[in-house]
Amino acid sequence: MPKVIVEVKKNDNENAVSLIRRFTKRVQGAGVLRRVRSLRWAERKPSPFKVKKSALVVLAKRKEYELLKKLGKLPQEKKRAGR
């Protein structure tokens, strides 16, 4: 991840508002905000233990569902209104 440094120098006859405007344009052009916002919501990869644990939970639920299906004890699905 390369560091991006945005730098602007004040011209002789430039006021603070135009300097800030120029700096803002440079930041947008460099893509700094886009990168920071994309990293903000990035999720870490789960540990191998958590992956294995969740897979075992899924397998256990599937096994229980198949057993209930075989015994004919599945709960009745609720019908939606209007159908």
For residue range 12-67, list pLDDT tens digits in order.
999 999 999 999 999 999 988 888 888 888 888 999 999 999 999 999 999 999 99
pLDDT at position 35, please? 86
pLDDT at position 1, please? 58
The token pair that represents 3 in the structure block: 């560091």
pTM, full prediction: 0.45
pLDDT at position 6, please? 87
The token pair that represents 65 in the structure block: 């569902």
E-strand stretches of the chain: none
Straight-line distance from the first to the last Cα atom of the chain, in angstroms, rounded to the nearest whole number:
55
Q: How far apart are CA 53 and CA 79, in angstroms?
A: 34
Q: How far apart are CA 18 and CA 48, in angstroms?
A: 52
The token pair that represents 73 in the structure block: 């004890």
pLDDT at position 3, please? 77
pLDDT at position 70, please? 94
SS3 80: coil
Domain boundary assignment for the chain: 1-42, 44-78
